Structure 1
Amino acid sequence: MSGQVLDRVDHPPTGVDEDPGGFDLRAPDGTRYRVDLTTEVLDPHNPLLAGHLAARRVVAFVSPTVDRLHGHRLRAYLEAHTGPGQWTLHVIRTGEHHKTLAAAERVCALAKADGLDRHGVMLAVGGGIVADVVGFAASIYARGVRYVKVNTTLVGQVDVGVGVKTGVNALQTKNMFGAYHPAHASLNDPAFLRTLPHREIRCGLAEIVKMAVILDGDLFRTLEEHPDAFRRPGGDGELETYVLRTSMRLMMEELCPNLQEHELARLVDFGHTFSPVVETAGGHRLEHGEAVAVDMALSAHLARLLGLADEETCARVVGLLRRIGLPVFDPGTCTPGLMTQALRASWQRRGRKLHLVVPTTIGKAAFVRELEDVPGDVLEAALRDLAADGERGDA
């Protein structure tokens, strides 16, 4: 080795880089992935998806709704870009009741029957549940195979589609089984959002409000001015592009340094302390985004009562959720008993620390670290105030 000069290897810096076509993430642990933004992803003349499939064996999975709306285009695309007999497509059931270990096992069984090997690709085209189930199946199939997701819902594009978590519900607990398994590619096409019912758009907006409250006052003010974003006639212009890209960037930047959640205190858990119980105890009567909205409203009232946020901040958070059309109170689950149960479940899940995220002002948030920092009388007062908000919303 004497006299030799060894070249130093420079690794790209960690963080999130944005370009016109999407976002690149490099985490401190070396994990790298990209989220693409494109138009007409299923047009045979768009090579983006085909490039990620790379002539591999493809087993595709779609929801019944996606199959009805886009299945013919997806089949035509796969026919145009893969060899004869190199792809199959299956329709899988969606809804939280079908987000189970049995569903992931069925995906694996279908893939095995179709001859998927370690070099093949599972392709998930749909919303967050399809991505979660297929992603988890890909993480355990033959100890891990590639998967590609094409995100067709707003929740999928700003939340599930930009992270690395996969999972299914089990043991009466949301996402009890799961894995950190980055997608080989995650593709977002805003054109899909035009086919969504307004309820699905509102659920996606709940996740966007979450990011605005904790990190970006400008985004929050934009939503206050345009609570009908993504639901306006012809609403796929500059406003929607700004909201979509900003939400994606904020989420990826917040996830990047703690991608596998070694640190259990996470700002992106705003709206995700009470919501799992609101969902499960309510028999999934509320969609995920609706339960998150109820959670954010309750957390805002707790912040006010604990002296961490002023009246105006609480009123703006709750007011925006109501203007979007999201629920801020659920009589069937927003009871002192169930919400205390939710606090204890989060405390246990987060390493016996509560880490409840609450807004301090618009664009900033803090943690309530200990379970005893949320006294029972304060929780009950917050629920009473929340019920009053819900009644005003019904009036």
Structure 2
Amino acid sequence: MQLSAIKQSFSVHYEYQLLFTQGVFHSDNPLFSDTIAKYRPKEAVKLFFVIDKGLVDAHPHILKQIKTYCAAYPNQLKHTQSIVLKGGEQSKNSTEAIEAVLKGINDNAICRHSFVIAIGGGALIDMAGYASAIAHRGVKLIRIPTTVLSQNDAAVGVKNSVNIFNKKNFLGTFAPPFAIINDSDFLTTLEQRDWIAGVAEAIKVALIKDKDFFTYISDNALAIKNRDMEVMHYVIYKCAEMHMHHISQGGDPFESGSSRPLDFGHWAAHKMEYMTNYSLRHGEAVAKGIALDVTYAHLLGLITEADMEHILDVMLTIGFDLTLPLSSTAETDELLRGIQEFREHLGGELTITLISGIGIKHDVHTINKALMIQAMEKLNRFSKVNS
């Protein structure tokens, strides 16, 4: 008996929102409670909080605030537990943090109709999101990012991940959050390097998508460096908007293809993070990676020297150190191995996003390694002379 193939196709509709507020856990601010109410308006929902230790250090009353807030909305919110974990990239480098989140989900009977609330920088949110996505095949997640980079990039997408085998984001899931809530109050206590680092992702999307946005960043480079909150609000909003628009309108939200324009500058960034044992912030590494690929694009003849120098000058004015952490041929060779690792991460054909003008992305499928070494040397000379 000949049996014919059974074929099936289906689509799943995803919807999530990015909300903006100040004082998210102030009892007179109903935004958080109202967000939960949109899921289950007639009953209290169990909440398990995962909080970045860096945030607790900067805002020592946050744990009490969360419990007080939940108590103020008892018909909607049921606080189970808050755990505090060390953030930063190291939270993605071992199983301890993942196991702590999974244990909390289990111990507090967090089911698929409960919520994990991840509060912190991009790395902690990435890790907590991954744990949430694999528990019960996915429990609901709300992200409350607390750094510039997480508010404009890391927390607004649909990806979650951790590091293993000395490779960044080797384990991961595509799992959209229920919502993201950006609270600008958390930005006021950031260290200067964290204030600056997240701007790299805004520069990234501006360079590949929006010349006018890059002009805004250029015109306000000193204001950004000097922590002008109004300027930063716009930079975060515009960057997040473009990031989310790319996910919904780019035709490849779960990255089944080989082109990843939002990874502009990231092949080198990921490798430099590992090479420096993650002493570089992700945004700091991305800035160096963007600067390198912009320099390489100039050597390829894709952009003018004037455009290259303008881009690098803007980044230096904001406060980025663009010097590549290379002190030997062996380290240069190791960085270049990041190209192949990036191809493996993408899958399929090697695709590196460059630019052929400010606001114009340009994909290439091969890298001239000799020319890339020249770009490394040229960037380091430029950075040292102009810093």
Same fold, TM exceeding 0.5?
A: yes
The residue number in structure 2 matching 1:16 is: none
The residue number in structure 2 matching 1:254 is: 246
Secondary structure (helix, strand or coil) at the match of 1:159 reads: helix
Which aligned pairs between 1:376-387 and structure 2 lie closer than 5 A?
376-387=369-380
Task: Confirm or deny: 8 A CA contact 1:59 1:87 kept in the other structure.
Answer: yes
The residue number in structure 1 matching 2:147 is: 153
The residue number in structure 2 matching 1:89 is: 82
Task: Confirm or deny: 8 A CA contact 1:180 1:260 kept in the other structure.
Answer: yes
Among 29, 32, 35, the alignment partner of 2:15 is 32
> Within 2, Cα distance between the matches of 1:333 and 1:90?
41
The residue number in structure 1 matching 2:317 is: 323
1:154 deviates by 0.7
Deviation by residue 1:95-134 (Cα, 9 ceiling, x = unmatched): 2122133321220112212232332111111111121111
1:393 deviates by 4.0
> Within 1, Cα distance between the matches of 2:372 and 2:355?
16
Asked if 1:218 is matched to 2:207, the reply is no
Task: Confirm or deny: 8 A CA contact 2:47 2:78 kept in the other structure.
Answer: no
The residue number in structure 2 matching 1:269 is: 263
The residue number in structure 1 matching 2:235 is: 243
> Within 2, Cα distance between the matches of 1:64 and 1:241?
24
Moved more, 310-319 or 77-86: 77-86
Task: Confirm or deny: 8 A CA contact 2:54 2:87 kept in the other structure.
Answer: no
In structure 2, the gaps of 5 or more residues are 1-10, 38-43
Task: Confirm or deny: 8 A CA contact 2:326 2:332 kept in the other structure.
Answer: no
Asked if 1:305 is matched to 2:299, the reply is yes
The residue number in structure 2 matching 1:141 is: 135
Deviation by residue 1:141-190 (Cα, 9 ceiling, x = unmatched): 11111111111111111102210100111111111111011111110122
> Within 2, Cα distance between the matches of 1:244 and 1:221?
15
> Within 2, Cα distance between the matches of 1:213 and 1:367?
13
Moved more, 321-330 or 291-300: 321-330
The residue number in structure 1 matching 2:337 is: 341
Secondary structure (helix, strand or coil) at the match of 1:178 reads: strand
The residue number in structure 2 matching 1:53 is: 36
Secondary structure (helix, strand or coil) at the match of 1:295 reads: helix
1:264 deviates by 2.2
Secondary structure (helix, strand or coil) at the match of 1:168 reads: strand
Q: Which amino acid aligns with 1:260?
A: F
Deviation by residue 1:8-35 (Cα, 9 ceiling, x = unmatched): xxxxxxxxxxxxxxxxxxxx86222111
Asked if 1:358 is matched to 2:368, the reply is no
Asked if 1:209 is matched to 2:203, the reply is yes
Secondary structure (helix, strand or coil) at the match of 2:16 reads: strand
Among 273, 278, 288, the alignment partner of 1:279 is 273
Aligned-residue RMSD, C-alpha: 1.9
> Within 1, Cα distance between the matches of 2:381 and 2:224?
29
The residue number in structure 2 matching 1:162 is: 156
> Within 1, Cα distance between the matches of 2:74 and 2:223?
37
Task: Confirm or deny: 8 A CA contact 2:81 2:108 kept in the other structure.
Answer: yes
In structure 1, the gaps of 5 or more residues are 1-27
TM-score, structure 2 normalization: 0.88
Q: Which amino acid aligns with 1:168?
A: V
Secondary structure (helix, strand or coil) at the match of 2:66 reads: helix
Q: 1:65 to 1:81 in 2, by over 3 A?
A: farther
Secondary structure (helix, strand or coil) at the match of 1:57 reads: strand
Q: Which amino acid aligns with 1:97?
A: Q
TM-score, structure 1 normalization: 0.87
Q: Which amino acid aligns with 1:129?
A: A
> Within 2, Cα distance between the matches of 1:339 and 1:355?
17
> Within 2, Cα distance between the matches of 1:229 and 1:82?
43
Q: Which amino acid aligns with 2:56?
A: D
The residue number in structure 2 matching 1:198 is: 192
Q: 1:92 to 1:333 in 2, by over 3 A?
A: farther
Among 63, 72, 87, the alignment partner of 1:80 is 72
Task: Confirm or deny: 8 A CA contact 2:258 2:348 kept in the other structure.
Answer: no
Deviation by residue 1:62-99 (Cα, 9 ceiling, x = unmatched): 11122230333223212322469742111011121221
